[in-house]
Structure 1
Amino acid sequence: MCGLLIEISYTRIVSYKLFYYYTYLVIGLALLGLGCGGVLLTISSRLRQLSKNIILEKSGFLAAITLICGYFIVAKIPINTTKIWDYGTLDSFRNVCSLVILCLSLFIPFVAIGLAISSLLSSRPERINRLYATDLVGAALACIIAIPLQISLGPPLTIILTAMILSLISFFYQSSEVLTKISKISILVITLLAVTIPNFIPEIKTENIKSTAEIEFEHSEWGPVFRIDVQKELFDRHLIYHDALLGSNIIKFDGNFSKLSHLENDPRSIPFRTFEPSPENALIIGSAGGHEILSSLFFQTKSIEAVELNPVTTSLLKEKYYSYSGGLINQPGVKLTTGDGRTHLTRSNKIYDLIWFVAPDSYAANNSASSGAFVLSESYLYTVEMLDEAFEHLTEEGVIVAQFGEYDFDQRPNRTARYVSTAYESLTGLNVENPSEHIVVATSLDYPASLSTILIKKKPFSAVELKRLSKHVESIEGTKIRYMPNQKGLNKTIELVASSPYGQLKDALDNYPYNLSPVHDNAPFFWHFQNFSDVLNEILEPVDPARDPEVAVGERVLILLLIISVLLAATFLLLPFYLIRKDWSELPNKKASFSYFAALGIGFMLLEITMIQKLVLLLGYPTYSLAVTLASLLIFTGIGSASSSFISNKPKLRLWLLIILSTTTASYLIGLTPLTNLLIQFPLWFRFFSAFIILAPLGLCLGVFMPLGLGSIARISNSPTIYISWAWAINGFFSVIGSVLTTILAMTYGFGFTQSLGLTFYLIAILIFPHLSKPVTRQELL
């Protein structure tokens, strides 16, 4: 339980301190540390001679103290990850060292927890299925309570609370050493002070490129999506930072619309100039601080539905800044909803004149573009299927609007071009004869970057509408048309994407260095523009994030994490067995056991992570999907583990296990999307319950394999502790690799392929299983 609480909390902390894509580092280090604890128990005869109670006492105490010290280091260590890519410089070396220290701070507590788990599992080999099941149920409990803790306490205090739990566990085991008792009491006192006294623990220092050290905030709050920081009033507005990146603002408003005349020359005015008169109703997806709501009111839209994912953001407008914003959410015709935009639209039976997608970086094009912050994140808002849904809720003369920050529009309008290509495919699916007549693109200067506004109509833009738009765009300083039907030479990339005949886009973009293909739900990685093969070929070339901000930085991180995962896992999980090579060499059936536990490690991650990513569409929040998926899989794998002893000597039952697992995976591949479309209409609690049940058969099947294999090798070995720890290490090694590899495969080939590959690994494991307990001769053993 404690291990998973730490892991979930640190994914949020690292996402805030560094960037979203470094959360994969946390997952890998957690798996690595847990496996390393088992290796330590195996190679150290001194540890093996200690009683189980002593190991549990020492490991609990070590985990608590390293967790507290580690948090202080993680919070305060200065780092600038973008400088890492400036190879051969002192800055690069310094920041690599900082990253290594940060990794060690994350890694060590998991080693102590892994040591305790391995000690428990190896202490009673004959009951390993029940012990393993108990471990999984404890982890599931952590998933259930993690989200409420993140919201009520925040990740830093959750870390400290977990340290207190670990120190309390060590208190259950008596020690005669006075120093140990004093240390335990000291740790407990520190954790109690941290939980009860505000600001006792240090504030997290973000990395330099997103540093907020010079900014004076008046309100900060952790939420289930990201952390919110509100800057003190500046020019009649409060800027809002999302995970330390500028994301929105709350405009001061006293109810007098005449004071908002500046909106006439704001890029947010462009959507409204498509209409004459103003649109009757609008849906704003990603309303954040309410800037688009205010613009819609100013342009006399009568009915405005606004949807915002982060409940912390909506609470700002409902509570603390209600008066400051002029009671914006209670203005006539305004309705603010907390939830996922895709879910809201699918459940709605209304049609709209204007559907407005406010991209997460549209308020700070340069800030987010320069970080590549979203490159590895999945988003179901910018896919062909989402646009199909939007068109179904659009009036005949309605308009869909999307806005994106672009760092270098003239040379690399990747975000805009990719959204245009996605819209082109959606329009083609509606049997639109010439999609190029339904699209208009404009950009506005947001120094040193630009803000792109994309307009998409269900019907072709009329000559009157195009003339009105052109005239208005020309009147806004720093704003220009970048694509308009029947106009040539405005931007060759956008023109190429918007006007290529259907089916010829891929050929047209063959010489373009980035991936602008339409985005689908099967691989909803909108910000993934560069193929991993190209990134790998250029991995040794330095990148200047200030000049080339979003190009391959996220992909580079993922590839480097994969390389680092292999090296660290080999060093900490496999190499130590060289120290006990004599004992290790006497273990029977090593090739079969290696293949079996390796297949389980990588197969489990392929199936688990893809289900977490796919269920985001059903549950709305990525955090909810993580918690529900892990809780369900852990509970049902625990039940499967407890029942594994009934299958071990029954080949027919193993055959049925193969059939059930294959059928379950096939049903996910074929039926999950239509089932999601059906269930999304229901309340959130019902979708939670449905996701929990949907995952049950998968969890029951997967839970059988690990204890089945561990039990088999324990029975045929004279050194069950060593063999179980080695198998645990092999499984951990490939789980670490699988945690990163899954995302690479999903981004490249899609969720369907990745899930099918996960099933393949489990089928291999089933075929190998009979060889685990196969009798061996002395010659074969050597």
Structure 2
Amino acid sequence: MIDRGPFGHWSLAAVLSLVSASVIAHQIVIMQMLSIAQWDRFASMVISMAMLGFGAAGTVATVFRDRLRRAAGPALMLLCGSTAVAVALTPRLSALPGSFDAFLLFYDPGQTALLAVVYLWYCLPFFFAGLAVTLVFYTRVDRVGLLYAANLGGSGVGAAVVIALLWIVPLDRLPALLALPPAVATVVLMVDRSARADPPRRPWNRALVAVMVGAIGAAIVVAALAPVRAQPSEYKDISAALQLPGATIVHRSTSPHGELSVVRADALRVSPGLSLTYRSEPPVRDAVFVNGDYFGPLLGFDPAADHILGFTTRGLPYAIGSPTSVVVLSAATGTGVSHALSAGARSVVAVEPNRHATGLLAERHPEWIDSLYSDPRVTLAVESPRAFLSRAAPTGGFDLIVASELGSFGGNAGVDSLHDRFDLTLEAFERAWSLLSPAGIIAVTVWTDEPPRLPLRLLATWRRLLDRAGVEEPVDHLIAVRGWATTTFVLSRRPVSDGQIASARRFADAMGFDPLVMRGIDAAERDRYNRLPDDSVFDSVDSLSAGDADAIVAGYDFDIRPARDDRPFFLRFLRLTAIGGLIDAYGRRSVPYLEIGTFLGFLTLIQVIVVATLMIVVPLSGHRFQTGGRLPTLLFFCGTGTGFMLFEIVLIQQLTFLLGQPVYATAAVIAVLLIGSGIGSLLSSRIDAASRFLPRIAGVAAAVLLCYAVALMPLLRFLIAFPVATKIVAVVILLLVPAVVLGMLFPLGLRRLAAGRTDHIPWACAIDSLLSVTAAVAAGLLAVELGFAMVTAVAAAAYGVSAAAATRLGGAAKAGV
């Protein structure tokens, strides 16, 4: 028997929309705050664990379902109010264990307890909201199509709205604003309850209402009047800069791209791997940081002075030629652009995807870089490097393409190992190669890392490119020069001349650098100025540039295979089979810091699996189910939760390729996929849950995802060169088709359970939520190992499991439910 509860279904739909919009927006805001305070990978870990609050809510609802149903009215109002309070105060509560630092997690065991406290605080809003959603689904399963659509639609709208808010509202002010929707939801419930003609027998406790309203109001006022800013870890670049005497922040602003800060100090000098022969004093310049990470110096442009980059290995491409048409990818603050102009370039394209930074330097404060981006020789392209390469069609080709710089001074412990880099894939370099003039070159500067990984993967990628282009002598197209801190590699469209090799040698000798790769190189000249503790890397370099590259790639301790568009993780080098040997070589405590992003990913996955398993199993104990058929329920909702989230995460990563920015890809996928799924949920209300349509729809979902696994990436490569408006329309169409199909399955599954397994409904909600979170964590790790296409195929297989389980779901279901 269905309990229709004390509230109307339209009021409940409005409540779910408001709560869901708030929580999804809160998730994005908290990830931004954690990215400032720690790193992106840690932000993902905390949010993944916190979102287990949704699953925990389902488990609690399963265990206490009878009590919650009897007190559904007061419980729902209390949960909405608690969500508002938690959203407003989570940043303040999470700041209490102030000594926690993710960078020390593998070094200081005491950080584990602090991490548990952080998890608890961030879990609260998701738990309260999840319990409210589960309670509504359980008590009003007769309207689950409408209510699930409201839940998904609200989430989609919340994701889109918060991106817009991040442009106009400071990040630390958003928690107070995002607490308003669940506060309004609480008021909606109060009004609806008091207006019903059949009020419950038990009178409403006015004192409790007063306490709830007071708590919500106080929380929002505190969050609005005393906002809490995210404080960067002491290991962030900006923290080191602020320790300089007299250091101050002269500008700070936030956007979807993160927090942008400009630091000024008399001791803040520009010296990016300078040659030791440089005799002048390094210039004092302000520096820009994004989320606390170094973005670039405000060097500006002085045409009368020698450019400082000419005294680094970055001067190599200008030493061996005189490029007049130059592209600088990931131009940042324009240092590479001013270098090209100083070297005589007549036209320079500056490609920078961070619209927040370019707006600051090109529009608000152009004087900070001497109006560099307004120079008539400079064209500013605010887009991703890959998007620019895909649409560019220069007449005669570019003489020089300066690709993104790799690494950083002193390394970064591999915090970016799971970040996709579509600008560094084999396909990206092949596209850049095709855009070169007959004598054009590509230049990449790599910061020294130990053990060597970055330069070897770059060489392996270029060697594959040359082999695919039919080049018989790859080394004839390569030159590299090594300094004490950086190495610059040059890939030439045509074989380098003897004159260019002589120029490279003269440049290296004048600057105190060592030749690393070039035709006819002598072993003695490689290690003259900058000695290496282990010169075995030279053998690897020789094999990659002129020998058996496949043998080196296969046998090296780290994974240095070229990154591909289907696996664009250029900064991920860890071989899982080699961890034992690395522990022997570097020690158990040190190994995680070779690639901390990957280790945090696996740590998160282990934590999520353990917690999710416990939460699924707990309701099975103590005879809490009065009916059987638990295995079909488990399998069906495991499939829907796993399949949906694997597909969503892979879509976000693949659409980053198309849209150029992870934040926009995330908003687009969440908004369109969830709104489309909401449409599917509404349509599901017209389908008889007891019919044979449910397994067929799950089968169609599996088939659709298999098609996307095969065809999506080629289609995105075709679309990337189109205008933004065309891309947006294409994204909507591409996402709506599978979204509508996927959105039907969850509400149909719940309605099937309502016919004979009503006590399974909250457990099903818990399973779906817990497997969604687990899949979200696993998706990135699977993509690194298998590629996007295979992960999408795994998502299709998950829906295949749901299709098989659907035939027995709910037992002898009754028609018309």
Asked whether the 8 Å contact 2:642–2:775 carries over to 1, the reply is yes
Asked whether the 8 Å contact 2:426–2:563 carries over to 1, the reply is yes
Q: Which residue of 2 aligns with 1:184?
A: 213
2:64 is aligned, of 44, 48, 52, to: 44
Per the alignment, do residues 753 and 502 of structure 1 end up closer, same or farther by CA in structure 2, a change over 3 Å counting? Answer: farther
Q: Which residue of 2 aligns with 1:563?
A: 606
Equivalences for residues 109-508 of structure 1 within 5 A: 109-174=125-190, 176-178=205-207, 181-182=210-211, 184-185=213-214, 187-188=216-217, 190-192=219-221, 194-195=223-224, 200-210=226-236, 212=239, 214=243, 216-233=248-265, 234=268, 235-253=283-301, 256-275=302-321, 278-350=322-394, 351-359=397-405, 361=407, 364-366=408-410, 369-408=411-450, 412-445=451-484, 450-477=485-512, 479-487=513-521, 489=523, 490=526, 492-493=536-537, 495-497=539-541, 499-500=543-544, 504-508=548-552
Any idea what SS the aligned residue of 2:424 has? coil
Name the aligned partner's letter for residue 129 of structure 1: G
Asked whether the 8 Å contact 2:583–2:591 carries over to 1, the reply is no
Any idea what SS the aligned residue of 2:807 has? helix
Instruction: Provide the C-alpha distance between the structure 2 equivalents of 1:78 and 1:731, rounded to a whole number of angstroms.
Output: 35
Structure 1: 5+ residue runs without aligned partners?
A: 87-91, 777-782
Asked whether the 8 Å contact 2:463–2:544 carries over to 1, the reply is no
Q: Which residue of 1 aligns with 2:276?
A: none
Q: Deviations over 1:446-471 (max 9, x none)?
A: xxxx2232211111221111110121
Q: Deviations over 1:199-229 (max 9, x none)?
A: x312212223216263521112223233221
Asked whether 1:35 is paired with 2:55, we answer: yes
Any idea what SS the aligned residue of 1:227 has? strand
> Sequence identity, in percent?
22
Asked whether the 8 Å contact 1:27–1:739 carries over to 2, the reply is no
Instruction: Provide the C-alpha distance between the structure 2 equivalents of 1:520 and 1:494, rounded to a whole number of angstroms.
Output: 25
Asked whether the 8 Å contact 1:194–1:201 carries over to 2, the reply is yes
Q: Which residue of 1 aligns with 2:564?
A: 520
Give the drift of 1:683: 1.8
Equivalences for residues 658-669 of structure 1 within 5 A: 660-669=700-709
Instruction: Provide the C-alpha distance between the structure 2 equivalents of 1:250 and 1:47, rounded to a whole number of angstroms.
Output: 62
Per the alignment, do residues 172 and 327 of structure 1 end up closer, same or farther by CA in structure 2, a change over 3 Å counting? Answer: same
Q: Which residue of 1 aligns with 2:10?
A: none
Give the drift of 1:279: 0.8
Any idea what SS the aligned residue of 1:643 has? helix
Moved more, 45-54 or 397-406: 45-54
Per the alignment, do residues 227 and 371 of structure 1 end up closer, same or farther by CA in structure 2, a change over 3 Å counting? Answer: farther
Give the drift of 1:155: 3.7
Asked whether the 8 Å contact 1:85–1:542 carries over to 2, the reply is no
Instruction: Provide the C-alpha distance between the structure 2 equivalents of 1:766 and 1:684, rounded to a whole number of angstroms.
Output: 38
Name the aligned partner's letter for residue 435 of structure 1: P
Asked whether the 8 Å contact 2:89–2:219 carries over to 1, the reply is no
Give the drift of 1:379: 1.1
Asked whether the 8 Å contact 2:481–2:516 carries over to 1, the reply is yes
Give the drift of 1:637: 1.2
Instruction: Provide the C-alpha distance between the structure 1 equivalents of 2:579 and 2:29, rounded to a whole number of angstroms.
Output: 30
Give the drift of 1:550: 5.0
Asked whether 1:574 is paired with 2:616, we answer: yes
Give the drift of 1:58: 0.8
Name the aligned partner's letter for residue 61 of structure 1: G
Per the alignment, do residues 536 and 763 of structure 1 end up closer, same or farther by CA in structure 2, a change over 3 Å counting? Answer: farther
Name the aligned partner's letter for residue 404 of structure 1: V
Any idea what SS the aligned residue of 1:209 has? coil
Moved more, 686-695 or 201-210: 201-210
Instruction: Provide the C-alpha distance between the structure 2 equivalents of 1:355 and 1:286, rounded to a whole number of angstroms.
Output: 11
RMSD of equivalent CA atoms: 2.7
Any idea what SS the aligned residue of 1:396 has? strand
Any idea what SS the aligned residue of 2:422 has? coil
Structure 2: 5+ residue runs without aligned partners?
A: 1-20, 191-203, 269-282, 527-534
Asked whether the 8 Å contact 1:535–1:556 carries over to 2, the reply is no
**TM-score of the pair, normalised by structure 2:** 0.86
Asked whether the 8 Å contact 2:672–2:732 carries over to 1, the reply is yes
Moved more, 549-558 or 464-473: 549-558
Any idea what SS the aligned residue of 2:165 has? helix
Instruction: Provide the C-alpha distance between the structure 2 equivalents of 1:98 and 1:70, rounded to a whole number of angstroms.
Output: 15
Q: Which residue of 2 aligns with 1:702?
A: 742
Q: Deviations over 1:340-378 (max 9, x none)?
A: 1110121111121011113264xx422xx2332211101
Asked whether the 8 Å contact 1:7–1:30 carries over to 2, the reply is no
- Number of residue-to-residue matches in the alignment: 745
Per the alignment, do residues 418 and 690 of structure 1 end up closer, same or farther by CA in structure 2, a change over 3 Å counting? Answer: same
1:764 is aligned, of 790, 795, 801, to: 801
Give the drift of 1:263: 4.0
Moved more, 760-769 or 157-166: 157-166
Name the aligned partner's letter for residue 380 of structure 1: F
Name the aligned partner's letter for residue 242 of structure 1: V
Give the drift of 1:401: 1.1
1:67 is aligned, of 54, 69, 87, to: 87
Asked whether the 8 Å contact 1:151–1:222 carries over to 2, the reply is yes
Asked whether the 8 Å contact 2:420–2:568 carries over to 1, the reply is yes
Instruction: Provide the C-alpha distance between the structure 2 equivalents of 1:658 and 1:462, rounded to a whole number of angstroms.
Output: 61
Asked whether the 8 Å contact 1:85–1:543 carries over to 2, the reply is no
**TM-score of the pair, normalised by structure 1:** 0.89
